[in-house]
Structure 1
Amino acid sequence: MANVSNYYIDSKNKLISDKESYIIGNKYRFTILTPRMIRLEYSINGVFEDRPTSLVINRSFPKVPYSITESNTLIQIDTGIFTLSYVKDSDFKSTTFGSNIKAVINGTNKEWQAGSKEIRNMRAINYSIDSIKDKIILDKGLYSLDGICLIDDSGSLVLDENDNFIERPKDIKDLYLIMYNNDFEGCLTDYFTLTGYPNLIPRYALGAIWYKNDNYSTSDIVNLVNKFNINNIPISVFLLGDYWHNGSTLIPSIDLKYISSYLNNNNIKLGVTINPTSYINKGTNEYNYISSYTNLDKVNFIPLSNDKIGIYFNIFINNLNNLGVSVYSIDYNNPLDRINLWKIDHYHHGLSNIKNIRGLTLSRNANIAMHRYPIIWSGKTLVNWTTLNLLPRYNSQGYNMGLSFIAHPIGGYHGGIEEDELYLRYIEFSCFSPIFLLASEGGVYYKREPWKWNSIIRNNIIYYMNLRYKLIPYLYSESYNYHKTGHGLVKPFYIDYPKIIDEPLYKNEYFFCRNFFIAPITERKNSVIKRSIKKIYVPNGIWFDYLNGKKYTGNKYYNNFYRDEDYPVFVKAGSIIPTSINIKEYIPSILELNIYPLDNGEYSFYEDDGYSNNYKKGLYMITKFNYQYELDNYTFIISREEGKNLLSRRTYLLRFKNTRNITEVNIEDKTISYSTYYDRDDFIIKIDNAIVGREIKVNIKGTNILVGSDVIINEEIKNILFDLEIRTNLKEELDKILFSDLEIRKKRIKIRKLKRKGLDKKYINVFINLLEYIEKS
């Protein structure tokens, strides 16, 4: 029977491999798990482990063909992908004379041996980046330029027959070697099959999480939520910091029952922060809750021993759950003790799981199968541009360990100077990141409340926060895809484009979900032209700017200019992006489908109730969208793929991007009611009250229906000229010089001569630099 310890294991039979996969000696046991992955065990006593560990939950893989060549002292195993050589019954180690165990990827010179440094490992995220000022020391990841990784399970806890986690003997080795060469997707598949696929995150976790460490009263919370509502700013989680309880206890000092009820009426979940190192002292009221369970004078929950687990969960956490708490932030900051952090995460998820709900914790990275325990919180980061510049690459490094749901305090958590441009760039970056966390230390002057900024910045913040919520149907569907396939929401560019791996201008670019790529802005704008100048590498294919529709041809470098309200977000041709109109609906009654031209596309759109595990019982819905692109002739099909209908009727808005001059609309089912209209350069078909599950086939035709939307650098330069506060006659002269047929040297001379006519030197320098972009266009 599933409990808070063993819930993560489907069956203990899955811990035993096929008997033909084992190769056993007196002191060693090898298990061929896949053509890429082998388990290597060494025990001086010849005792080997078949129980689950804190990391590994499945060793039952399909049988793999392999060949063995051996003598009395040596054994060689060939899986077809790699060959392993081993001196029988010897410890796994290297000496000055060589290694007694090594493996080579067949047909290459890529070799692993005991003690290999893995210097070409691309690293993964670390424990946290609390107060990091510049450089991050990262943990080892799965992705290596050598195509080899080693997972050491020797120090993991073992789940014993009584469902208690216990330590293993110190004199054993339990390693998993993955020799994947260039097949990193295969490596991730092996890893997730071994350790479990990512959990499906609750839908509300993709909305805005509010966490400002203030000492709130009940009326403070009500007033703050009212302000969010008045300003049309959605939030999904209200996370209380250090002041919801008295001192070091876990007994609430404010009315959590009332607060959770109030928040639920506003579609907001309640969360609390817990520091498990806090002591409960004998003689206090809270000690009376636990006095029958312990004789200690004072109790804290680190280390989280088996006897403390019952006290922590059965008394305190169950009480908080009954008061309406849904989310827990585990504020334990000790990089040297990851085991206890992992235990807390594991048991919290176990308690939710056996209650058929998807619980949510935020914690730093314990680095033990953390894809099973979202969300990873990067910690109490500093407020500055340096931190922001670190975050895109940090998120990408998560992919190297199969991680997606990493949260960073928007604007930084503490210290620094509150700058409007910095905060807005954080908001924009977070809009296109897996988690959106508005967090800071307490205090009046940490401006995490959007209405504290000037009206222009505030309006931009509100726009991007609402855009985030419109994207949640898509983000949740992508989260389901991550849960099923392990394909992360954030993927570093260098996986597919290693040529830019060391190029500092492009290192922060990343793929977002399956249809976007982002080139985040992490530096201050040019103060003269009031724009960020951004050099961007666009990957293969055709891409569209998600915000303005401009078209980009791939495998090229571009120089772009971005105002405060702009952001470099690109969506691939042929993409179908589902978004919501009413952002408060979990299952949208009106669904907008953004359809991008110039390639065929399809999308499987996933929906469920968003919080329970009933989807495992078949209570979910997958709708298939199919787009067939031909010149001046588009066909779009909506059909049921699998699952059960979660609503009876739905209105669709089919937004064909960059499309005009439509002369013919045909819907195969003549009973369907629809209307059409244009919105700027988009053609929209509104299908009213369609029966969910019934196929809808739409065809549109016209002449020259694709709107020309290529990026033209001269237009960008002209827009800069329009916005500059210099005399109009000087703008006219600059225009004639910049866009003339003169060679660049002569243009420079003419621009410098404008100083005599009153053009400030700072503008002269800017336009001389802009000549470079014009010449390259």
Structure 2
Amino acid sequence: MEEKKLRDCLVAKTDGKAEPDNILIAGGIRITVIFPNLIRVECGNEKSFCDDATQSVWFRNHGKVDFTFEITKTKIIIKTEKAEFCINKKNGTAVYAKIGDMVSSCDNGENLKGTARTLDRSRGAVPLKDGVISRDGAAVFDDSKSLIMCDDGEVRPRKAKERDIYVFAYGTDYIGAVNALYKITGEVPLVPRFALGNWWSRYKAYTQSEYQNLMLEFKKRDIPLTVATVDMDWHWVDIKKQFPQSGYGKKRPAFWSDGWTGYSWNTELFPDYRGFLKFLHEQGLKVTLNLHPALGIRSFENCYNEAAKAMGLDPAEKKPVNFDITDPQFVNTYFDKAHHPYEDEGVDFWWIDWQQGTKSKLPGLDPLWALNHYHYLDRQRSGKRPLILSRYAGIGSHRYPLGFSGDTVMTWRALDFQPYFTSTASNCGYTWWSHDIGGHCFGKHDDEMYVRWVQFGTFSPIMRLHSNQDPLSGKEPWNYGWDAEMTAERYLRLRHELIPYLYSMNYRTHKFGRALCEPLYYNNPECEGAYKCRNGYMFGS
């Protein structure tokens, strides 16, 4: 039985305790001045005040900040060289913030928004969560529900409930606000160079020879690719047919089935999967496989015996190794037995396609956040730059690139929303969205829409062609009319030519906190048109 402690590589390095000289306590209120334009406000009592890092905020000590304060019966006023903050002494809410001539009510009423968990099956716009910038000069980030990060790598509930907010009072210095967010949550990692090229992805049950021939066809047509994605049919999907004695193969809620989760290559489709991976690498491609881990590791999987033993189960009893991301023993087994062997054979990174809700055995812990966090940390063991592809799980998710925006519907309205959605995510520090370029489902074959989507993808953070298995939805350029084909090919080649520039912008994001795609108002905060032109954005420097 494996040791019930997370591997060292799964323990993040954090520094949650703030500079003591920056802290003011007044009754049940504790205020930490982190920067002249950023304060933290906790409302509770001395036992509930939290010095630990949280899921979102990892670093609070950035040196001493000079400030003055005034305490009255009803409020606490903090003044720094850059801003003035007024806090309700009773409940810890922010009453106002002053930045120069700007006065903010700190209610996020004019918040310029951030991003959303997913665009799954959306035919257009979706509501966005708040970001850390606001037109009235100050934005509030509420971290009250965030769990704490422990020294052993696990997350646990806070000792007691408290209000825990951060007030970003940067006026129209939007770039400064986002950079402050990075300083307290962690920088955006460098993404590998290969991620910046063209990706092929399709939800289709390819055979090994079909996929290999498709890659050769792209090469023959001089359409460069850098990433080959294999959707969930890389593993066994028809469980009832393939493993009739297992008792699995049931339909489940929300259109998913027992076959979504799998860790054994489908040898009917991929008779020589090691040779398949070798072939893709010889073509200069990196490989990612799709994961739906919700159903754990079951008795028909190749890795089951070892996984069961590691969990203290008798393999002969064929009891499943249930998915439990709150159990360090399971987390270790999950990586050691189900993922590391395939990584050693050539899988470069994983596409974590979690769609099974936000609840786990630990109240408040979203499995999506935990999967993103642990998968990214685990991949660092290779010594290479880690990468995952997964949905957004809240403030701090920029630490785990890339973002998968979900199953996009093939409509003009969906395409129309994506430029705004992509650049606006910068407002919460999330810079690496990857969309289903061309759309995934529920649309129609449309040459012009396809070309426009490819053009947008060329000037997006990630260029990932994707569709479902519908014969009319394939995103091969030659699947469209001559004009559309030639235009799409030209833009795909342009994307590849842009890789050196994109890599420089990748470094700029990592080092200076500047997104590849930024809203126009970052550089033109006084221009009303910059706010109204939602689909316009700055691409690079």
Alignment TM-score > 0.5, same fold: yes
Q: Give, in whole Å, the separation in 1 of the partners of 2:411 and 2:141.
A: 35
In 1, the alpha carbon distance for the partners of 2:435 and 2:399 equals: 19
Alignment partner of 1:429 out of 450, 456, 464: 456
Instruction: Tell me how far 1:170 sits from its aligned partner.
Output: 4.8
Secondary structure in 2 matching 1:298: coil
Post-superposition offset of 1:502: 6.1
**What is the rounded CA distance, in whole Å, between the counterparts of 1:502 and 1:298 in structure 2?**
53
1:329 aligns with 2:351: yes
Identical residues among aligned pairs (%): 28
Distance 2:277 2:371 in 1: 23
Q: Residues of 2 paired with 1:512 and 1:492: CA distance?
A: 9
Point out the structure with the larger strand share.
1
Q: Which of 1 and 2 has greater Rg?
A: 1
Alpha-carbon distance in structure 1 between the residues aligned to 2:143 and 2:168: 13
In the superposition, relative to structure 1, how do residues 87 and 239 fare at CA in structure 2: closer, same or farther (>3 Å)? closer
Larger mean CA deviation between 22-31 and 208-217 belongs to 22-31
1:103 aligned residue (96, 101, 110):
96
Using the alignment, how far apart are the partners of 1:221 and 1:317 within structure 2? 22
Residue among 502, 508, 511 paired with 1:475: 502
Separation (CA, whole Å) in 2 of partners of 1:59 and 1:279? 37
Partner AA of 1:322 in structure 2: D
| CA distance in structure 2 between the partners assigned to 1:239 and 1:106 by the alignment | 48
What residue number does 1:712 align with? Answer: none
- Whether 2:419 is the aligned partner of 1:392: answer yes
Give 2:68's aligned amino acid: S
Other-structure match for 2:491: 464
In structure 1, what is the Cα distance between the partners aligned to 2:38 and 2:7?
A: 29
**Unaligned runs of at least 5 residues, structure 1:** 94-100, 515-777
The answer for the alignment partner of 2:214 in structure 1 is 224
The 1:20/1:416 distance shift into structure 2, 3 A limit, reads same
- Higher deviation after alignment, 280-289 or 458-467: 280-289
CA distance in 1, matches of 2:64, 2:391: 37
Higher mean C-alpha deviation, range 375-384 or range 346-355:
346-355
| Mapped partners of 2:531, 2:175: distance in 1 | 22
Deviations 1:454-494 (A, max 9, x none): 33322222211111111110010011011001111111123
CA distance in 1, matches of 2:357, 2:113: 17
| Aligned equivalent of 2:529 | 500
TM-score scaled by structure 1?
Answer: 0.61
Aligned residue for 1:223, secondary structure, equals: helix
Which residue type is aligned with residue 528 of structure 2?
K
Structure 2 partner of 1:5: 10
1:251 aligns to 2:264 (yes or no): yes
1:40-119 equivalence runs, <5 A = 40-70=41-71, 75-86=76-87, 88=89, 90-92=90-92, 102-108=95-101, 110-112=103-105, 116=107, 118-119=108-109
- 8 Å CA contact 1:333, 1:364 repeated in 2: no
**Residue 411 (1) aligns with residue 412 (2):** no
Distance 1:24 1:494 in 2: 37
Match of 1:265 among 276, 282, 288: 282
Q: Distance in 2 between matches of 1:155 and 1:201?
A: 29
Deviation at 1:205, TM superposition (A): 0.3
Instruction: Kindly indicate which of the two structures has a greater share of residues assigned to helix.
Output: 2
C-alpha separation in 1, matches of 2:498 and 2:445: 28
1:106 and 1:435, CA in 2 relative to 1: closer, same or farther beyond 3 A? closer
Aligned to 2:241: none
Find the residue that maps to 2:507 and give its secondary structure.
Answer: helix
What amino acid is the match of 1:70? I
Alignment of 1:122-137 (within 5 A): 122-137=112-127
SS at match of 1:191: helix
Q: Which of 276, 293, 300 lines up with 1:276 in the alignment?
A: 293
Q: Name the SS for the 2:423 alignment partner.
A: helix
- What residue number does 1:164 align with? 154
Inter-CA distance 30–502: structure 2 relative to 1 (3 Å threshold): closer
Off by >6 Å, runs of 4+ in structure 1 = none
After superposition, the Cα gap between the structure-2 partners of 1:47 and 1:360, relative to the gap in structure 1 and judged at 3 Å, is same
Q: Which range is displaced more, 213-222 or 288-297?
A: 288-297
Deviation at 1:26, TM superposition (A): 4.6
* 2:479 paired with 1:452: yes
Contact preservation (8 Å) 1:342, 1:368: no
Q: Which residue of 2 aligns with 1:571?
A: none
Is 1:341 the counterpart of 2:403? The answer is no
> Gaps spanning 5+ residues in structure 2: where?
1-5, 238-260, 360-364
Question: Does the CA-based 8 Å contact 1:31-1:40 persist in structure 2?
Answer: yes
Report the alpha carbon displacement of residue 418 of structure 1 after superposing the two structures with TM. Answer: 1.0
Separation in 2 of the partners of 1:290 and 1:302? 13
Map Cα deviations across residues 398-457 of structure 1 (whole Å, 9 max, x no partner).
111122211111210012111111111111111111110111112433221122223332
Alignment of 1:360-759 (within 5 A): 360-495=387-522, 496=524, 498-500=527-529, 503=532, 506-514=533-541
For the 8 Å contact 1:490–1:510, the answer to whether it is kept is: yes
Offset of residue 6 of structure 1: 2.6
Q: Shift of the alpha carbon at 1:339?
A: 2.2
Residue equivalent to 1:197 = 187
Once residues 100 and 499 of structure 2 are traced to their aligned partners in structure 1, the CA distance between those partners, rounded to angstroms, is 45
Counterpart in the other structure of 1:184:
174
Q: Distance in 1 between matches of 2:385 and 2:100?
A: 46
Partner of 1:290: 307
TM-score (norm 2): 0.86
Aligned length: 497
Q: CA RMSD in A?
A: 2.3
Q: Note closer, same or farther for the CA distance 1:270–1:74 as it changes in structure 2 (3 Å cut).
A: closer
CA drift at 1:86: 4.3
Which amino acid is the alignment partner of residue 480 of structure 1? Y
Distance 1:106-1:511 versus aligned 2 partners, 3 A rule: closer
Q: Do the aligned partners of 2:125 and 2:413 also contact (CA within 8 Å) in 1? A: no
